[in-house]
Amino acid sequence: MRKVSVGFLGCGNIGCGVWKLLQEFKADILHRADVEFDVKKILVRDVTKKRDQVIPAELLTTDPAQITDDPAIEMVLEFMGGEEPATRYMVRALEMGKTVVTANKMALALNWHILQEAAEKHHSGLYYEAAVCGAIPIIRTTIDSLQANRIEEMMGIVNGTTNYILTRMSQEGSDYADVLSDAQRLGLAEPDPTSDVEGFDAAYKLSILSSLAFHARVPFDVIYRQGITQVSATDIAFGKELGYTLKLLAIAKRAGNVIDARVHPTFIPDDHPLASVNGSFNAIFLHGHACDDMMLFGRGAGSAPTASAVVGDMLYAVSRDTPRYPTFHNANTLSDGLTVTDDWHCAFYVRLNASDRPGVLAHITACLGKEGISIRNLMQRDAVDGHAQIVLITHDAGECAINKALKAIASSDVQVESMIRVER
């Protein structure tokens, strides 16, 4: 039997979940892997705080060096959150030759190059399954199981909070602000929801996922990001009438050396596999040249599901003869030879408020036609006070072309109320 001494950096939601899983699954872990994880020290901010689990007081410390610098500790688990000091502590642990397991997508996405360098230099393992989509094994599926594939496309619902909000808006016809405050009351959204609702969390995860899928670093700052704060119940309802469901998608596509990486509210057809992923569930839909279409679905957050990924990584790490860590040549910048396009191609949903006068529709179609954009569906609502709602969905077009067309359409007779991208 191998005994592995472990230190925790953080003991909040995820730390307590890992503590609980390590306790209740101890016998199974021993039986399955012949290993015992012995938690030696736990870093927290406040040692007197009441926690979800009963943690022996002598394990708690506010001194990170008692974990990162203790030669007796072999493995460091990081679930403090935030960029710093989490990155600094992980780097220190890697420099001390320790294995690091992290759930921290932000630190990883922003400081991948620093963590990779420390791991490489000191030949220390760095594992991060829990950083993307909680319990869903998307990291190891991408880097191991799908190695024989050229992954051309990934689309994911990677943030449970925004999926919960959009699902309820869609099912109940409620407004964004009402559902958000309800989600905050239920503990499903943070008191400061910015990271989730503005798409930061999804973009951190997309940076990690697309880098692994495309074997090329796709840094966080090249990802286009638009959150859900401007989404209206009206657009969700019109989309529904046309057979579409609205989701906040993290999308990455690669065609040759051109990458397209973006997070934004997206309409997908009701029969798309991602359309039925509701509530706080996550899913990744991907296409590889050999595996074809594939979807992984499951709990993307929460104490126990995330602990499942952390403890899975701990077992994986101890089962390896050599440590594993990312090995990108260009760990900080977009890899050589690649470009990121902001002129991606998809269909577009557009809602217009137009004067109910002859020639207005002709003006709209002419502006679209001038940019080579044709209409797939068009719906007009009866005029109220001389104004009609016009909703249209285009055939595939370029982002630059639609923006140009919408600029030309906007006039004293037509207001562009919203534009939402549509994927198939």
Ligand X SMILES: NC(=O)c1ccc[n+]([C@@H]2O[C@H](COP(=O)([O-])OP(=O)(O)OC[C@H]3O[C@@H](n4cnc5c(N)ncnc54)[C@H](OP(=O)(O)O)[C@@H]3O)[C@@H](O)[C@H]2O)c1
Binding site for ligand X (CB under 6 A): 10-15, 43-46, 49, 79-81, 85, 103-105, 130, 134, 301-302, 306
- Side chain identity, residue 389: Q
Calpha distance 287→269 (Å, rounded): 17
Residue closer to ligand X, measured from CB, 87 or 266 = 87
CA distances from 29 to 9, 212, 311 (A): 22, 29, 10
Helix, strand, coil shares of the chain as percentages rounded to 5? 40, 30, 35
Q: Give the DSSP letter string of 184-241.
A: HHTTSS-SS-HHHHTTHHHHHHHHHHHHHHHTS---GGGSEE--STT--HHHHHHHHH
Residue closer to ligand X, measured from CB, 250 or 401 = 250
Residue closer to ligand X, measured from CB, 49 or 381 = 49
Residue nearest to ligand X according to CB distances in the complex: 12
Cβ proximity of 89 and 78 under 8 Å:
yes
Residue closer to ligand X, measured from CB, 204 or 238 = 204
CB of 105 to ligand X, least distance (A): 6
> Which of 173, 285, 280 lies closest to 233 in space, CA to CA?
173
DSSP 59: G
Residue closer to ligand X, measured from CB, 103 or 409 = 103
CB of 99 to ligand X, least distance (A): 18
What are the two backbone dihedrals, phi and then psi, of residue 339, each rounded to the nearest 5 degrees?
-130, 155
Place of tokens 């708690």: 60
Residue 264's SS3 state is strand
Q: Which residues pair with 264 in a beta bridge?
A: 249
Residue closer to ligand X, measured from CB, 138 or 360 = 138
Calpha distance 408→419 (Å, rounded): 14
Helix axes 176-185, 160-172, angle to 10 degrees: 130
CB of 301 to ligand X, least distance (A): 3
DSSP 123: T
Calpha distance 217→210 (Å, rounded): 8
CA distances from 337 to 80, 82, 110, 151, 216 (A): 36, 31, 21, 18, 10
CB of 370 to ligand X, least distance (A): 46
Calpha distance 266→349 (Å, rounded): 9
Residue closer to ligand X, measured from CB, 185 or 424 = 185
Calpha distance 30→109 (Å, rounded): 33
Residue closer to ligand X, measured from CB, 301 or 406 = 301
CB of 48 to ligand X, least distance (A): 9
Cβ proximity of 391 and 242 under 8 Å:
yes
Cβ proximity of 198 and 231 under 8 Å:
no
CB of 178 to ligand X, least distance (A): 23
Cβ proximity of 230 and 258 under 8 Å:
no
Residue closer to ligand X, measured from CB, 101 or 364 = 101
CB of 10 to ligand X, least distance (A): 3
CB of 132 to ligand X, least distance (A): 8
CB of 138 to ligand X, least distance (A): 12
Question: Annotated active-site positions, please?
Answer: 205
